[in-house]
Amino acid sequence: MNSLISRSLLLLGLITVVTSGCRLNCIKGEGAAEQRTLDVASFTGITVDGPIRVTLEKGPAQMITATGQPNLLDLLNTSVSGETWRITTSRCWSSKEEIAVHIVTPTEIRAIELNGSSDVASADVFGRGDVELATRGSGSITVDAINAGKLSTRITGSGSITIQGTCATLDAGITGSGDLHGRGLTANDATLDITGSGSASIIAISKLKANVTGSGDVRYGGRPMLESKITGSGSVAPLP
């Protein structure tokens, strides 16, 4: 028994040392916040890692600016791989000031992915083809306008996606306690899959297929042909 306790205390000590070491290796923000123009190749998708706030809007030419403390802006990745710009830093960092990236783009964006506690707000920068939106963690995506063919959304964790606009088909999945706010989104056909305690709202015109496993709920508007399956205490019901 004493041996087991000793090994447990040793393991706890090692974890504490490693965790402290990781924190010590993080860069602390220094100096007054400044705005900087970033030189980034054209892209059709973004992946955001960590607590970075991103805004996107349509414009005639690409222009990207970043705001934050200078030594933290030095850490920002500006390389594009496979038409995707990963907005991340080369080191972990801490600061009372945020890092904010503003993107003006003439290119149609086809994918946005968040990892962690990022926030992305977007105007109508999407094309009429396929669009993918995904959050992993507690981040949020807000889309003010969209007119897509097939729209795919994935929420893993406690994040949220808020969308206004239209799409021909919607394929939405939630795993965890996340929320899809789609009262302003109209889809001709929609498929919603929820595992956990998440919630989703949508306006569906022709067809709605809703699968809920757990305590999640689906609320819908319109008069679609409804197919639903519920395992647990969840619910599928019209919007109030």
How confident is the model over 213-230, as pLDDT tens digits?
999 999 999 999 999 999
Query: Domain for residue 28, yes or no?
Result: no
Mean pLDDT of 166-170: 98
pLDDT > 90 fraction of the chain, expressed in percent and rounded: 86
**Full domain range(s) for residue 60:** 33-117
Residues 140 and 43 in one domain: no
Query: Domain for residue 10, yes or no?
Result: no
Residues 157 and 109 in one domain: no
Residues 138 and 102 in one domain: no
Residues 111 and 186 in one domain: no
Buried b (16+ CB within 10 A) or exposed e, 49-84: bbbbbbebebeeeeebebbbbeebbeebeeebeeee
Q: Which band of pLDDT confidence, cut at 50, 70 and 90, is reported for residue 24?
A: low
Strand, coil or helix: what is 33? Answer: coil
212 CA to centre of own chain: 21
Whether 12 has a pLDDT exceeding 80, the answer reads: no
Q: Which band of pLDDT confidence, cut at 50, 70 and 90, is reported for residue 33?
A: very high
Rounded to two decimals, the pTM is: 0.88
107-162 pLDDT tens trace: 999 999 999 999 999 988 998 899 999 999 999 999 999 999 999 999 999 999 99
193-215 pLDDT tens trace: 999 999 999 999 999 999 999 99
Query: Domain for residue 1, yes or no?
Result: no
Tell me how far apart the alpha carbons of residues 172 and 23 are, in angstroms, rounded to a whole number: 36
Query: Domain for residue 23, yes or no?
Result: no
pLDDT at position 19: 35
Query: Domain for residue 21, yes or no?
Result: no
Residues 71 and 134 in one domain: no
Examine the fold and report which residue of 117, 146, 163 is the final residue of a domain before the chain moves on.
117
Asked if 237 contacts 221 with a C-beta cutoff of 8 angstroms, the reply is no
Q: For residue 41, what are its two tokens?
A: 């190749």
Tell me how far apart the alpha carbons of residues 80 and 187 are, in angstroms, rounded to a whole number: 32
Q: For residue 3, what are its two tokens?
A: 């041996």
Tell me how far apart the alpha carbons of residues 16 and 7 are, in angstroms, rounded to a whole number: 14
Q: What is the CATH number of the domain that holds 151?
A: 2.160.20.120
Query: Domain for residue 41, yes or no?
Result: yes
Residues 187 and 165 in one domain: yes
Residues 111 and 131 in one domain: no
Domain count, the chain: 2
Examine the fold and report which residue of 73, 89, 117 is the final residue of a domain before the chain moves on.
117
Tell me how far apart the alpha carbons of residues 192 and 212 are, in angstroms, rounded to a whole number: 8
45-102 pLDDT tens trace: 999 999 999 999 999 999 999 999 999 999 999 999 999 999 999 999 989 889 999 9
